Chains A and B, each alone.
Chain A
């Protein structure tokens, strides 16, 4: 079945380390998004991309960067991880125009110690 896959599922890293979270999809969607989830704060948008040459900042992009390597791949990097970046990270995809909402990946639980 067409899906959205995130790797790794869980990761513990040390403060100051660089880490990359990866997302790939087989849904054929053009749009890809990165959100972080924190208890009581819901899902907040980090970055989004409408195609390989299009990258847009979201609400909370500071401390993060992204790369859209192909239509199907969208990676999120933490250049120098800090403890308050400990969160659950979700990748999502959608058709153009947000016609039918998002399909979320399975999530990456990141802990920065």
Chain B
């Protein structure tokens, strides 16, 4: 089955700097890669996703890139703000049945 790795496990950046979180997946059959943000004490919320026929997708300050050949995808956050502090999870679909999640990255944006 699918396996998803995620790095780094923790990331601290200064407010205004950029943050990058990287994920790799094992199964080349995966086609859909969502990213979730979980603020402290809250449920994970979908923030951006990308499908296998697209190499990059942007939504304001966040972007996701996908390299299907290398089986890795990344989340990029520019001009970070304190409200970006959260745990971020990447995920890959498992033959369209469910999602396999990475272990998460705790992002801290320092003022």
Contacts and interface: CB of A to CB of B under 8 A. Distances in A.
A98 B93 contact: yes
Contacts of B97: 48, 56, 98
* Contact residues of B: prevailing secondary structure: strand
A40 B1 CA distance: 20
Contacts of B100: 45
Interface stretch (B11-19, B42-50, B62-70, B75-83): B42-50
A41 B103 contact: yes
Nearest to B104: A42
B32 to A, nearest CB: 6
Given A48-B97, A106-B43, A101 B103 contact: no
Contacts of B6: 42
A35 B91 CA distance: 13
A101 B46 contact: yes
B89 interface: yes
Interface string A69-113: 000000000000000000000100000011011101111000000
Contact of B98 (A41, A48, A100): A48
**Residue of A43, A90, A101, A102 most packed against chain B (CB within 10 A):** A101
Given A43-B44, A105-B43, A106-B43, A98 B102 contact: no
A59 B45 CA distance: 22
A43 B89 CA distance: 9
B98 A33 contact: yes
B73 interface: no
Interface string B86-100: 000101010011111
B98 A101 contact: no
Nearest to A56: B97
